[in-house]
Amino acid sequence: MSRSAPDSCPGVLRLHQAADGPLARIRVPGGRLEPTQVQALAEAARELGNGDLELTSRGNIQLRQVGDAAALAARLDAAGLLPSPTHERVRNIVASPLSGRIGGWAEVHDLAAGLDAGLRADPRLAELPGRVLFTLDDGRGDVSTLRGDIGIHAVAADEFAVLLTGADTGLRVSASEAVEVMLDAARGFLDLRGAGADGQWRLHEIPGGVERVTEILDRSPVAAPLELGATHDIPIGWLDQDNGLVSLGAGVPLGILPARTAEFLAAVDRPVFLTPWRSLVLADLDEGPAETVVRVLAPMGLIFDATSPWLRVSACAGRPGCAKSLTDVRADLAAAVATDRVLPGDQRAGEVVVPAEEVAVAGRQHWSGCERRCGRPTAPVTDVVATPDGYRVTPPAP
Ligand code: SF4
C-alpha cells in the first residue's frame, strides 16, 4: 500500500487548517509534562488558541484556532516543548503512564526520554512519517495494545520483548539495548518504505514489513511470541504508589481540558502524565494534598470516579472543527451523557439508525461525524456514526 499524498500530520511548525481555524499538535514524548510546561500550555491555549487543551489518543496535546503560530512556537520552545524543529512531528512515543510508580516490570519513562533523544540525534530519522508510533510498555499491557509500529514490552525487570506493528517478534533485549534497537527498527522502516509522496506511513502498510525489519535487526528470536490482548485499563481515581506517595488518575470529558483547569493542575507542582485514553495522571502527591486536589478539581469537571459514563465514551472532533462532519458530534454525545443515555453493561441490540436525541448505547462507544471514525480506540467499541438519517449504532462483533 502506498499513498498518493505526503504525510500531512500537523505539528507546531506546520499547522492543520481545520474548519474552525489553524490547529497545532504538540508532541509530548511519554506523555510526561512538568508543571511549568502545563502552565505554558494553559497560557498558550488561553492567549493564542480557543482556551482549551485537547488531549489526543497518542498522549499529545492539540490547540485549536491558533491565531499566532510564530508566538506559539516561541512559547513552546521556551517551555522545552519544541526541542527540535526538524524532528518535532516524529516524537510520537507512548509509555505506560504509571510505570516506575505503580506495578509493572520496569521503568520505561527514562527509556522514552532516551528514545526521544536518540530520534532527535539522527538527522535521517526526521524523515519518519508523523504517523509512526513508538510504544514502551512496562509489562502491564496497557500501551502495547495500541498497535504501535515499533515498541518494547517488559517481560522481566531487565528484559523486553521487541514489538513490530504491535506484535511480539520473539526478539528480547535488555534495557541498555532497547533504545538502540528501536532506533535501528525505525531506520529499517525508512530503508523499506517507498520514497517521497509514495512512501508508506506505517510499518503494517509495507508488504512483509515486520519480517524485513526483523531481518535488518539481525537478532534471533529467543522466545515464543507473547499474545497481547486488548485492555481498557484507564487509571482513574486514587492510586497508591509503590513508594508511599499517591497518583491521581483523572478522566477528562471528551479529552477537552480547559486552560483554567490546566492552570490548577500546574499549581499542584507535580509531574503530569498524559495517557493515550485522553485522561491524565497527576503523580507523586502526599495524601493530604491529593485529597485537596480531588476536592478542588472534581467540581471543575475532572473525573475521579471509575464508574463515570464519560469514561465509556470517545468522539471525533466533529463540527465545527471538521468540515467532513455531518453534525456536532461532541454536543450530541454530551447531551446523551447528561440525559443518562450512556448506559452500563454491554450493547445488545443489532445495528440501528436513530435520531441523535434517541441514541442510547451501553458500554464502550465511539461517536463519529462521518465514516472515517477518527480517533476510534483499537479495543472493541460500539460505533455511533452520523449519517444523513441520524446516528447508525453498530455494536462490536461478538
Ligand atoms: S470522523 Fe469524520 S467528521 Fe470526525 S473528525 Fe474524522 S473526518 Fe471529521
pLDDT at 133: 98
Any domain includes 122: no
Ligand 1 binding pocket mutation candidate from 8, 326, 368 (most atoms within 8 A of CB): 368
Any domain includes 13: no
Provide the domain count of the chain: 1
Any domain includes 377: yes
For residue 368, give its domain range.
312-394
pLDDT at 1: 52
C-alpha distances out from residue 104 to 136, 137, 266, Å: 12, 9, 27
Ligand 1 binding pocket mutation candidate from 56, 333, 370 (most atoms within 8 A of CB): 370
pLDDT at 8: 76
DSSP letter at 74 equals: H
Which atom of ligand 1 sits closest to the CA of residue 372? 1
Any domain includes 330: yes
Which atom of ligand 1 sits closest to the CA of residue 322? 8
Any domain includes 355: yes
Any domain includes 365: yes
Q: pLDDT of 218-241, one tens digit each? A: 999 999 999 887 665 789 999 999
- For residue 250 the three cell numbers come to 483523572
Query: Which 3-state string (H, E, C) describes 267-278?
Result: HCCCCEEECCCC
pLDDT at 4: 47
Residue 337 burial (C-beta neighbours within 10 Å; 0-12, 13-18, 19+) = middle
Q: Residue 106's closest CA among 181, 151, 141, 156?
A: 156
Residues with Cβ < 8 Å from 389, sequence gap 6 or more?
Answer: 353
Any domain includes 368: yes
Binned average pLDDT, 10 residues per bin, the chain of 398 residues: 64 94 97 98 98 96 96 98 95 97 96 98 96 96 94 97 97 98 97 76 93 95 86 86 98 97 98 96 98 97 96 94 96 97 88 95 96 90 96 91
Q: Which residues pair with 368 in a beta bridge?
A: 385
pLDDT at 230: 63
Any domain includes 252: no
H helical segments located in the chain: 35-48, 69-78, 109-121, 175-192, 209-217, 259-267, 287-297, 329-338
Distance 67 CA to ligand 1 centre (A): 23
CA distance 56 to 11: 13
pLDDT at 377: 87
pLDDT at 3: 54
pLDDT at 228: 85
Q: pLDDT of 338-347, one tens digit each? A: 999 999 988 8
